[in-house]
Amino acid sequence: MRFVAAIIASLLVAASLSAAPTPESTCITCHSMLDGKLADPVKKFESAVHRQVGLSCADCHGGNPADESMDSMSPAKGFRGVPRKTQVPEFCARCHSDIAYMHRFDPKMRADQLSQYLTSVHGKRLKQGDTKVAVCVDCHGVHNILPASDTRSPVYPVNIASTCARCHASEEHMRSYNIPTDQVSSYEKSVHAEILAQGDTAAPTCATCHGNHGATPPGVSSVANVCGTCHVFFEQLFNKSPHQPAFAAMGLPGCVQCHSNHEIVKPSDDWVGVGQDSVCATCHSQGDKGYTGAQKIAGDLANLKTRLARAEEILNTAERSGMEVSSAKVELGSAHEALVKARVNVHAFDDAEVQKLTDEGAQVSEKAYQAGVAALNERDVRRKGLGVSLIAIVLAISGLYLKIRQIESRPKT
């Protein structure tokens, strides 16, 4: 058997040598002729980034790529074979933690993936012998590894959630760990997933908040920091608000308490206040300061929204009547802005902070409303002018009519 393989191999090598200038490694030439699992790596390796930079099987697996005999795979020649799951991180890190080596290929590439990984839950459990956790190849693929910036890669931002879901959404897989498996399905409902699906890769996915190599869920006290990396104002306001010490004391997870961790949906104004859908009422009850504060805040927001709607309505009516109101509409834009900012200031959990913005917005809305009233008055002036000209016309018509009668009643001479 070995003999036959050797003959065929040498024939092929001769053929490929005469056909192509660069000799493919013998691993590839041989394995491409085999079936099933043994040929699979060759097919997968076609598109791999490792292949594109000029690496080949032996660079990871060792052995002698120039040797067509089975001897190329002898441990004596440095062949490392297929690593066991627990050995995979170190297997990859042989190159990927070697800064000098990595920077030959990509000077800005990081080389700390292994050290990060060892701090993660995945890494720690692997060290304890748990082979169900993720290792490098579970997320990055094996022979068909693509750079993370390639849209086909399982670690391209848009694909990350489904990659994590391979384990984390499987009840069977996660049973022994006692953690929920609904994270990905919740995330899919979130506004973050929606934006990401539209192609904005700045939107957060699993790795953004949890880390990629050093994947650790944020400790309860640090959640607000994570959200705050993007949602800066909200974090600042929250930290100065009475909720921060209160939540810390009760061990509540900051932002997540009201906004959820994975199923982060677009908030509605109904969340504020004491109504049916409000989040305030989950803790605050009638009589406590928070309850009245929430009521006030909700009231201020609702008040501004009503005034805005009123102003918009009258301006639209005036516009439809043919009146010029474009500058009033532009001014009204700053009332909209005040509403946007007021919603941000809700996170100070201090009704004074919200009120100063809603008051400003209400003032602007009032001005715009008055402009609308003035426009409608102008419209009525026009109609009065019309009335005047109609009177003149009626006068003329009656004059005409009487003249006709007069002319035609004259006896014909």
Binding site for another protein (CB under 8 A): 195, 200, 230-233, 320-324, 326-327, 329-330, 333-334, 336-337, 340-341, 344, 382-383, 385-386, 388-404, 406-408
Main-chain phi, psi angles of 346, to 5 degrees: -55, -30
- Ramachandran region, residue 264 (left: φ > 0; alpha: ψ -120 to 50; beta: rest): beta
**Of 219 and 411, CB closest to another protein:** 411
DSSP string, 307-361: HHHHHHHHHHHHHHTT---HHHHHHHHHHHHHHHHHHHHGGG--HHHHHHHHHHH
Residue 33 beta carbon to another protein: minimum distance, rounded to whole angstroms? 51
**Of 246 and 400, CB closest to another protein:** 400
Q: How far is C-alpha 246 from the geometric centre of its chain's CA atoms?
A: 29
**Of 85 and 343, CB closest to another protein:** 343
Q: How far apart are CA 244 and CA 314, in angstroms?
A: 42
**Of 152 and 383, CB closest to another protein:** 383
3-class state of residue 44 by DSSP: helix
Residue 384 beta carbon to another protein: minimum distance, rounded to whole angstroms? 9
Residue 231 beta carbon to another protein: minimum distance, rounded to whole angstroms? 8
Residue 206 beta carbon to another protein: minimum distance, rounded to whole angstroms? 20
Residue 132 beta carbon to another protein: minimum distance, rounded to whole angstroms? 38
**Of 27 and 196, CB closest to another protein:** 196
Report the candidate in 351, 353, 328, 350 with the shortest Cα–Cα distance to residue 341: 353
Residue 175 beta carbon to another protein: minimum distance, rounded to whole angstroms? 39
Residue 369 beta carbon to another protein: minimum distance, rounded to whole angstroms? 18
- Ramachandran region, residue 129 (left: φ > 0; alpha: ψ -120 to 50; beta: rest): left
**Of 101 and 233, CB closest to another protein:** 233
To which H or E segment does residue 225 belong? helix 223-228
Position 171, amino acid: E
**Of 171 and 408, CB closest to another protein:** 408
Q: Which two tokens stand for residue 384?
A: 């009065």
Q: How far apart are CA 121 and CA 134, in angstroms?
A: 10
